Amino acid sequence: MTLYRATFLHTPVNPFHHSDALKREDDGGLLVQNGQIRESGSFADLKAAHPTETVEDLRGGLLLPGFIDTHVHYPQVRVIGGLGVPLLDWLDKYALPEEARFGDSAHAATVAREFVSGLISSGTTTALVFGSHFANAVDTLFQETERVGLRTVAGQVVSDRMLRPELHTTPERAYSEGKALIEKWHGKGENRYAVTPRFSLSASEGILEACAALMKEFPDVHFTSHSNENLKEVETVRQLFPKSRDYIDTYEQAGLLGRRSVLAHNVHMTGRELSAMATHSCTSAHCPCSNSALGSGFFPLKRHLAAGVRVSLGTDVGGGTGFSMLKEGLQAYFMQQLLGDSGVALEPSHLLYLATRAGAEALEMDGQIGDFSAGKAFDASLFQPPEGSTMQAVLNNAHSTERALASLFAGGTQADVKRVWIGGKEVFSRRETAQAEPVSA
């Protein structure tokens, strides 16, 4: 066993429901055996109870549960920064031309490495990933996540209209390729499968039926898609599905909504859509950097909370601006502040929860990951700014651990991630003199 000694923070319960949800140990201890936290508390108590265990001293930084990114696109790493256009133009101009390249297996493999290392070097240890339209590229992604050890829920993206011909499939192929990927990867190591129609705009009823058939056959797979992101998209979906009551209903009628369903964005929601999401116990993945970059709008967090809809956080790379969940937390905070009375005044506890435990709940993995309670996997990121950096001065002089956490969300970047563990295995360690690189498996 290893006894980690660190200043740590976590949110074992939901701060939107419990005012004292943020737990912190200024001189804490986490006793880890076979990748699992056995005991969690103050270092002095754990040391007294286990005097002979090896101590690993992580003091000098902040140890947080690994981030859980619940909406991120594997084939969009290289289009980060396509600014200045709204969603549908952004897809045509930036995302889809790049995604069409993933039929090339060498390109898919190179970007899979860029993608996985981008996530873990940002402190993300679990991700719900929009895969590629090409089954081979999804297979390549799973090989890379398995090699590195990233906890991954991912799937082949399926569509049969309004994108580009090379990205279109048929309901029959969507079913057969999805089934083969599920049989190969779902439940293998830390990989799980998510049935992933791109969005109702590009998915006929036939594609949604094929998705539903997969979910019926494999009831414990996940479901993810986009919804209600952009007003032009919402209007087009309304015209394409005249029998549906609204956007959410296109998925609901197909039988795709449930406890393991995560819908990204949900910026433009009717009251009925929010109650349908609450009824089906699904999650909204809020992607504030993407919503800002694409001018999609303000996420109605207050209405989600009032309706009892789960909310988690996603970077939405590459509509989003990078892999940092710290930046997403800050942007979520900014946008809620700008909403005035219609916004929610987010505190550091909310930001940490949204970036960690909320994602675990969205994926129904909260019994396993998301915080530092005993029984959870040791998925953790050590934030320790480089010597001489501004962030080091700020953290070293913070008046409290909670203030340090707020400062980390305000100014922390990938450069501040020093070490990352998944299931007790170190998957990233910053080189002090060279570019950050993942530790190979």
Q: Which does 198 bind (CB under 5 to 8 A by kind): ligand XAN, Zn ion, none?
A: ligand XAN
Distance CA 86, CA 97 (A): 16
State in angstroms the smallest separation of the CB of 198 from ligand XAN.
5
Secondary structure element (H or E) that encloses residue 349, with its range: helix 348-355
Contact assessment for residue 31 and residue 87, using Cβ atoms and an 8 Å cutoff: no
Secondary structure element (H or E) that encloses residue 335, with its range: helix 325-338
Q: Which does 67 bind (CB under 5 to 8 A by kind): Zn ion, ligand XAN, none?
A: none
Tell me the per-residue interface mask from 225 to 264 with ligand XAN, x by CB under 6 A, - otherwise: -x--x-----------------------------------
Please enumerate in sequence order all residues whose Cβ is within 8 A of that of 170, keeping only pairs 6 or more positions apart, or say none.
160, 206
Stretch that binds ligand XAN, among 48-56, 87-95, 140-148, 376-384 (CB under 6 A): 87-95
Please enumerate in sequence order all residues whose Cβ is within 8 A of that of 333, keeping only pairs 6 or more positions apart, or say none.
346, 351, 409
Alpha helices in 168-246 (DSSP H): 171-185, 205-217, 231-240
Instruction: Kindly identify the residues of this chain, within the stretch 280-339, that bind ligand XAN according to CB under 6 A.
Output: 290, 316, 319
State in angstroms the smallest separation of the CB of 162 from Zn ion.
16
Q: Which two tokens stand for residue 188?
A: 């293998």
Closer to Zn ion by Cβ: residue 46 or 91:
91
State the burial class of residue 168 (Cβ atoms within 10 Å of its Cβ: 0-12, 13-18, 19+): middle
The helix/strand count (H/E) of the chain reads as: 17, 17
Q: Which does 254 bind (CB under 5 to 8 A by kind): ligand XAN, Zn ion, none?
A: none
Instruction: Kindly identify the residues of this chain, within the stretch 258-277, that bind Zn ion according to CB under 5 A.
Output: 264
Contact assessment for residue 375 and residue 365, using Cβ atoms and an 8 Å cutoff: no
Closer to Zn ion by Cβ: residue 316 or 371:
316
Cis amide bond preceding 61, omega within 30? no
Residue 9 CB neighbours (<10 A): 26
State in angstroms the smallest separation of the CB of 219 from ligand XAN.
26
Contact assessment for residue 152 and residue 191, using Cβ atoms and an 8 Å cutoff: yes
Residue nearest to Zn ion (CB): 316
Q: Which does 10 bind (CB under 5 to 8 A by kind): ligand XAN, Zn ion, none?
A: none
Contact assessment for residue 286 and residue 246, using Cβ atoms and an 8 Å cutoff: no
Stretch that binds Zn ion, among 308-316, 354-362, 368-376, 377-385 (CB under 5 A): 308-316
Q: Which of 64, 95, 108, 382 binds ligand XAN (CB under 6 A)?
A: 95
Q: Which of 87, 248, 276, 289 binds ligand XAN (CB under 6 A)?
A: 87
Q: Which does 369 bind (CB under 5 to 8 A by kind): ligand XAN, Zn ion, none?
A: none
State in angstroms the smallest separation of the CB of 169 from ligand XAN.
15
Distance CA 167, CA 157 (A): 9
Residue 81 CB neighbours (<10 A): 10
Q: Which of 10, 198, 260, 268 binds ligand XAN (CB under 6 A)?
A: 198
379 part of the interface to ligand XAN, by CB under 6 A: no
State in angstroms the smallest separation of the CB of 94 from Zn ion.
12
Contact residues for Zn ion (CB under 5 A)?
Answer: 264, 316
Binding site for ligand XAN (CB under 6 A): 73, 87, 91, 95, 198-199, 226, 229, 290, 316, 319
